Structure 1
């Protein structure tokens, strides 16, 4: 038996599904509060389009923080990125925690992409960047979708995180509905998928009627590894994280979580990355 089964699957396939990461009681609780903040946002009560659930003014913030910083999630993250916390050091960096919901009245799709490798990259550039961004087969961050409702929105091409695009993939239409070997990741409430950010993937989101019950409530989180002494790694990750606005408030006095020391150490690691002003973006568009 492997001591790192989740990492093994991630390195092989580019994603790993973990079933029942939440208990039934947790699913009910988080679905209830996620519905409340979604309704508030849809009706204009929350001004931020990208609803960062750890914002100091976000309703139910502490409950969402308990999920984000939970031992069950952090244990998986530590395995995937190859670090462990101690009393003296905290290697993880708080990054993003957003809520993904169904669009109202119409469907919505994302184009095929890798999160931080441009579609204009040549095959040689792709291979070089994939190797640089996952040295030794490990990324310097872990990201996941944690479903509170049945979710079949993520479509991936297994193994594409370790190779350049094929000619078919490179020449495909941006919203091509069917590519060879593509797989729809099927999640039930409480399931999570952790995936390599540079696997070739896209999202297909089915709309719901205006005012109807929420059909998609998925927690999307990412956590990084502290890049001590490596300014280039710090800059690369900062462009991917701070562009989402978290740098504008994470340093505030009211941004403390009050749920233990480890979340504060992880928040301090993010504060050290800066505010995000003038650093640019990881991708265009």
Structure 2
């Protein structure tokens, strides 16, 4: 469970850090699984296959210079090519789930299993953004889904402006959204040690920065309340992969419940298409 201080920070500032969610002795199995996945993504650099996140090295002093394109993450950890049991085993972590329940309640479903890493040849320097429309914010700081980064090595790539999720953006902030990487007044660098988890509000103004010299290996997962009515079209593929991998026969009860809640979820995608409902009712 989150402490009262952590909950206050979540609602007021749009983030909180929970220490040592993954015990140090368990980190090697997650690191090894992560590395196998990264190797496969790098061997198949197409954006479409794994919804790979790509970055281009832009020389602002010489815009005509040849740029390198490289991956820094992917969204489809449940893809049969990439799947590792460690990816879903993490969803049985009691400290993680009790912390999530402090904010969202106990009736949860999977919303996304993703991964982020440092490029090998290109520095990663993402523009400032909100995960959604720049005009949208949450006056009371509440949210029905929660995204979180779990660091497998030390990670200081995440920058945010505390409290920006509860108000309109300032003129200085708006000038940076989707186009700029300049430091902003009040910005904070979130530092995670191996095994730590950063919970972040999707509407807080943030960006990532990771030089190629860093060893960033971070899970980026999203869980949601089952009454969240909207999801992304990309998640529809989870249903087919779940069956193809026969995960219902393999997962421990806690993780299985999170997936069954998703499979039974009766919501719409952002483009107003229905998710097909599968027969996993308890």
Q: TM-score range by the shorter chain?
A: 0.7 to 0.9
CA distance in 2, matches of 1:101, 1:219: 9
Q: Structure 1: where are the runs of 5+ without partners?
A: 85-90, 209-213, 228-232
- Report the secondary structure of 1:7's partner residue: helix
Conserved 8 A contact 2:161-2:206: yes
CA distance in 2, matches of 1:183, 1:142: 20
Q: How does 1:28-177 map to 2 (within 5 A)?
A: 28-44=28-44, 47-48=49-50, 49=52, 50-60=74-84, 62-81=85-104, 83-84=105-106, 91-116=107-132, 118-119=133-134, 121=135, 126=136, 129-131=137-139, 137-172=141-176, 174-177=179-182
Q: Structure 2: where are the runs of 5+ without partners?
A: 53-73, 274-282
Larger relative contact order (CA 8 Å, sep ≥ 6): 1
Conserved 8 A contact 1:143-1:221: yes
Which piece of structure 1 moves more, 190-199 or 162-171? 162-171
More strand by share: 2
Q: Over the residues paired in the alignment, what is the CA RMSD in angstroms?
A: 2.8
Check 1:3–1:188 CA distance in 2 against 1; reply closer, same or farther (3 A cut).
Answer: closer
2:276 matches 1:260: no
| TM-score normalized with structure 1 length | 0.76
Q: Tell me by how many angstroms 1:25 deviates.
A: 1.2
More helix by share: 1
- Report the secondary structure of 1:130's partner residue: coil
Check 1:22–1:265 CA distance in 2 against 1; reply closer, same or farther (3 A cut).
Answer: closer
Conserved 8 A contact 1:156-1:183: yes
Residues 81-114 of structure 1 show CA distances to partners (whole Å, capped at 9, x for unaligned) of 1x13xxxxxx101121111111231112222111
How many residues of Structure 1 are paired with residues of Structure 2 in the alignment? 246
| TM-score normalized with structure 2 length | 0.77
